[in-house]
Amino acid sequence: MKTNPRHLAIKILCQRHESGQPVDLIRERILRKTPPDNAKDTQLITALVYGVLRRQRYLDAILGMFSRHPLAKMKNLTLQGLRVGLFQLCFMDRIPPSAAVDETVNALKEARQPKWLTGFVNGMLRGIARQIDTLPDPSSPSLPPAVRLSHPDWLYQRWHERYGEEEATRICLANNRQPPLVLRVNTRFIGRESYLSQLRTAGLTPQPGLYCPDAIILSDFRGDIAGLPGYEEGLFMVQDEGAQLISLLLAPLGAEWRYLDACAGLGGKTTHLAQLLPAGGQVVAIEPNESRFRLLQENVKRLGQSGSVSVHQTTLAGFKPESGGPFQAILVDAPCSGLGVIRRQPDIRWNRHIEDLKRYQLEQLALLGEAAQLLAPRGVLVYATCSIEPEENEEVMAKFLGENPNFTVARPQALPIAARKFIHAKGFLWMLPDEGHDGFFAARLEKQ
């Protein structure tokens, strides 16, 4: 029997709401277990899930205008079904209103919901569809700013107080736009111009990156990344330009040096470092999470870097260095709130609370302390987050430097000219997500 893609979208949203787990992991798990019938269905599921998460406050405001039953007291499944249906009515012009309503109701029927409940959803959505032209526009000033911009009140208020209304609005609007796909060309195998030609031959419209010499931007690509030319051959890695800049903070790289990626994740920065290494250099990568470690291994192998990268499934605290002494350079891409990458992970805004920032700060300081002990004299320590919050960035640096006077902040030496505008007065790399890339913070520290 054909699987209703809206049913799978609602299921993903329900599990995200109940578990608080990252939506991309939930999506991957559910679609692996129940594969959609075709690529178009996969794209529709992704568009619905991520679209609902980006517009959730606005959708709830509209639903609240029409429902006599408080949204907070609705069953999770009912609320997610209403959100999916309303998102189609408001933001997916290519789907006829009748199809949006009917297919959403059918999705709830597929979930074995009682007739009275599917009737309630059907009535709500049809009533809204009849009055669609009278609904307040998503940018209407009649809506409160955090509702209009679909962010939690506490987060919008923080940004409003720190940056002012205009900048806070730009950040929120950037978070609500679907970001482009950005690739980093594996220059060990192919040059950027040659790979640009391959993509154009495949009918795509790539553009060179704005800031990084190996970056390629695919603004309109919505397909399967594994289907891009050269994926299996390891010709590229998906990586935002902001993330690509962080690896460059370790430069100049020394021949025969040993590098440690203390929080490797899926291996974006690990494999970039390996790509940049002079002859004889080695990267040691640490990742404790089992699923991320598996993907790290796969990416290192796919990019042909097994000879220069060794991977270890452990925490930094539990890591036992191999022979060779301390490391000449260490990258700590620390676990963080992720509030700089909301445009790529829209669920983050709903998963985070202000109390989380201090909790992350303690973890970040602990990681820096552990990394400092593994660093050789005159070595380089790069600290990075995908957050734009001072508790995780400037405050972490102030506390670490206060407790470790043998470290100093050093201005990056090898950033491309176009990217140097992101270096601020104190020497930190600081990028906001409204500037055409994700939000990042990084600092290059040198040990005396």
What is the structure's pLDDT at 295?
Answer: 94
Which residues have C-beta within 8 Å of that of residue 312, sequence separation ≥ 6? 284, 285, 286, 287, 319
Positive or negative: CA dihedral 315, 318, 322, 328: positive
Pair 72, 215 in one domain: no
Provide the token pair at 177: 């736009």
Q: Of the residues 14, 172, 212, 386, which is catalytic?
A: 386
Looking at the DSSP bridge assignments, the partners of residue 329 are: 259, 380
Alpha carbons 203 and 197: distance in angstroms, whole number: 10
Question: pLDDT-based confidence at 165, cuts 50/70/90?
Answer: very high
What is the structure's pLDDT at 103?
Answer: 95
pTM of the predicted model over 0.85 = yes
Last residue in a domain, options 238, 259, 274:
238
Q: Residue 142: helix, strand or coil by DSSP?
A: coil
Please report the DSSP string for 63-90 in residue order.
HHHH-SS-GGGS-HHHHHHHHHHHHHHH
**Mean pLDDT score, 118-128:** 96
Pair 388, 427 in one domain: yes
What is the structure's pLDDT at 435?
Answer: 75
* Number of structural domains in the chain: 4
Pair 139, 259 in one domain: no
Q: Residue 110: helix, strand or coil by DSSP?
A: helix
Pair 114, 197 in one domain: no
Amino acid letter, 10: I
Q: Give tens-digit pLDDT for 337-382.
A: 999 999 999 999 999 999 999 999 999 999 999 999 999 999 999 9
Closest CA to 175 of 33, 37, 63, 338: 338
Last residue in a domain, options 201, 217, 238:
238
Quick check: 125 pLDDT over 80?
yes
Pair 187, 84 in one domain: no
Kind of pairing between the strands at 407-409 and 440-447:
antiparallel
Amino acid letter, 359: R
Do 365 and 336 touch, CB atoms closer than 8 A? no
What is the structure's pLDDT at 280?
Answer: 85
Cis peptide upstream of residue 114 (ω within 30 degrees of 0): no
Provide the token pair at 286: 């640490």
Percent of the chain whose predicted confidence (pLDDT) is above 70: 99
Quick check: 259 pLDDT over 70?
yes
Pair 110, 165 in one domain: no
Alpha carbons 112 and 136: distance in angstroms, whole number: 33
What is the structure's pLDDT at 323?
Answer: 66
Pair 155, 185 in one domain: no
Backbone angles phi, psi at 298, to 5 degrees: -65, -40
What is the structure's pLDDT at 436?
Answer: 80
Q: Give tens-digit pLDDT for 28-71.
A: 999 999 999 888 999 999 999 999 999 999 999 999 999 999 99
Looking at the DSSP bridge assignments, the partners of residue 381 are: 330, 445
46: left (phi over 0), alpha (psi -120 to 50) or beta: alpha
Q: Residue 327: helix, strand or coil by DSSP?
A: strand
Pair 115, 165 in one domain: no
What is the structure's pLDDT at 2?
Answer: 64
Question: CATH code at 111?
Answer: 1.10.940.10
What is the structure's pLDDT at 3?
Answer: 79
Q: Which range marks the domain in which residue 425 is found?
A: 241-447
Give the residue ranges of DSSP H helices in 92-164: 97-110, 115-130, 145-148, 153-163
Looking at the DSSP bridge assignments, the partners of residue 183 are: 216, 238
Positive or negative: CA dihedral 235, 237, 243, 249: negative
Pair 133, 17 in one domain: yes
Question: pLDDT-based confidence at 106, cuts 50/70/90?
Answer: very high
Provide the token pair at 310: 């060794």
203: left (phi over 0), alpha (psi -120 to 50) or beta: left
Question: CATH code at 343?
Answer: 3.40.50.150
Helix (H) or strand (E) holding 311: strand 309-312
90 exposure class (CB count in 10 Å sphere: 0-12, 13-18, 19+): buried
Helix (H) or strand (E) holding 41: helix 39-54
Last residue in a domain, options 238, 261, 282:
238
Pair 33, 111 in one domain: yes
Mean of per-residue pLDDT scores for the chain: 95
Pair 162, 186 in one domain: no
Pair 215, 257 in one domain: no
Quick check: 301 pLDDT over 70?
yes
Closest CA to 46 of 240, 222, 238: 222
Respond yes or no: is residue 386 known to be catalytic. Answer: yes
